[in-house]
Amino acid sequence: METVMDAGPAEVYEHAFVPALFAQWGPVVADAAGVAMGSRVLDVGCGTGAATVAAAERAGPGGRVVGLDPNPEMLTVARRKPGIEWVEGRAEALPFPDAAFDAVVSQFAMMFFEDRVAALREMKRVLAPSGHMAVAVCGAVETSPGYGALAGLLDRLFGRRVGDAFRAPFVLGDAQAMQALGAEAGLKGAAVTERVGQVRFPSIADLVATERACVWTLGGLLDEEQFARLLQAAKRELAPFASEMGIAFAMPALILTAGR
């Protein structure tokens, strides 16, 4: 039987992370950007399309929705979803003309952009004069009890280097820092709000295996013996968040909204 460790990174993202975490945020981000029927929408750093699909549902058949990502493997999975344009490209150099979209969204991708200010400026450039953008990033790891506990456990077991690799998606989890990025990019009416979502995995073992398989955090850092140690320790450390239904805990996100 294939496990999460046997799948490629894009399949891990689609079949493990999307249902456990990302799917719930697509409607939130689309709403924050004011996506409506007939909207022209761009999703920057779309991955396999969790937020893109939510935007397409709101834009309807009269709208135009484009998902952009630099990773061709992610786009291979995304292209299974019809009715959406999928484009390979970088956030820092969007291959679209000025004012091409009514709304621009980006969901849990900006943490990994090479130049975050340049990416925000590009999002601003492709917005129509009355358009809006919404950019979601993970809140600080300390504000998520389950992920905070796992980060501390990794520090104790394997050292800060491994713990910090796991923390990579949480590096923008500071509202003032996000506000400063918006100001530097010259965004109009930039505001940062916090929303709280839930992380849900079928079991502690599923959560740990998925994180170990994630190429953006722990991928390739733990051997089989280390993984076994982590799994045993995590079953104790994360027990307060587990039940017969699986494991669940809160994870806040910060959403930067702005006009052109």
CATH number where 122 lies = 3.40.50.150
* Residue 179, in any domain of the structure: yes
Instruction: Provide mean pLDDT across the span 13-20.
Output: 95
Over the chain, what is the mean pLDDT?
95
Name every residue whose Cβ is closer than 8 Å to that of residue 164 and which is 6 or more positions away in sequence.
none
Q: Which domain holds residue 62?
A: 4-140+168-200+246-259
* Residue 105, in any domain of the structure: yes
CA distance 96 to 122: 9
Number of domains into which the chain is organized: 1
* Residue 154, in any domain of the structure: no
* Residue 234, in any domain of the structure: no
pLDDT at residue 82 greater than cutoff 80:
yes
**What is the C-alpha end-to-end distance of the chain, expressed in Å?**
50
pLDDT at residue 164 greater than cutoff 60:
yes
* Residue 151, in any domain of the structure: no
Instruction: Provide mean pLDDT across the span 7-26.
Output: 94
Query: What is residue 1's predicted lDDT score, i.e. its pLDDT?
Result: 35
* Residue 19, in any domain of the structure: yes
* Residue 227, in any domain of the structure: no
Q: 47-79: per-residue pLDDT in tens?
A: 999 999 999 999 999 999 999 999 999 999 999
Asked if residue 25 lies in contact with residue 48, where contact means CB atoms within 8 angstroms, the answer is: no
pLDDT at residue 3 greater than cutoff 80:
no
Query: What is residue 179's predicted lDDT score, i.e. its pLDDT?
Result: 96
